[in-house]
Amino acid sequence: MKPDASASPETRLQWAVQTCLKAGIRLTDARRAILKFVAQQNAPVSLDQIAHAPQLAGQCDVTTVYRSVMLLKEAGVLRPIGSCGKASYFVLNAPGEPVGYLICRECGCIDTIRMPELAARNLTGIVQDHGFSAPGLVFEFHGLCAACARAERGRPPVVKLAVTPSRSARV
């Protein structure tokens, strides 16, 4: 089963469970709860958000969540979304969901954008023209969110190569 961009959380969860079973991953209650939580999200979620999801309350500790998320990532069920050195975020790696992410390089916030089909097809073509395989392609655009851009415009430029007078020059 392959969900499409408008798939329900239940369909996305079913895809994730089937993918885990095909990969030979034992689905513990905690792993099922992790998958259910992530399948219900429309935006990337952090490890902290996953660990504190209501579905996981009292089932396992943060270390177990981390290990489970890493296992699901290695199996291709979850995919990490880059955030320029900030917290790690994850989404369900369901195929057929042309998604892009706007990632602020300053504060790390992430906005999800639905890629129009034509744009996704054109970008996929560009990627393939460069010899890359394109299944499950995710587009990440790094820049500054509106709040960080406003804050940056208000700051004076940083001059790292500025020469400061030495003590002997001041005497």
User: What's the rounded Cα separation, in Å, for the pair 97 and 75?
Assistant: 18
Identity of residue 151: A
Q: Assign 155 a pLDDT band (cuts: 50, 70, 90).
A: confident
User: What's the rounded Cα separation, in Å, for the pair 66 and 60?
Assistant: 10
Q: What is the pLDDT of residues 15-57, one digit of tens each?
A: 999 999 999 999 999 999 999 999 999 889 999 999 999 988 8
Question: Domain 9-154, what architecture?
Answer: Orthogonal Bundle (1.10)
pLDDT score, position 116: 81
Domain ranges of the chain: 9-154
In this model, does residue 122 exceed pLDDT 80? Answer: yes
pLDDT score, position 165: 60
Q: Give me the percent of the chain exceeding a pLDDT of 90.
A: 37
Place of tokens 């902290």: 48
pLDDT score, position 31: 95
Residue 152 CA to chain centroid, in angstroms?
Answer: 25
Q: What is the pLDDT of residues 66-106, one digit of tens each?
A: 999 999 999 999 988 876 565 688 888 887 766 788 989 88
- Which has the minimum average pLDDT: 52-56, 58-62, 146-150, 156-160? 156-160
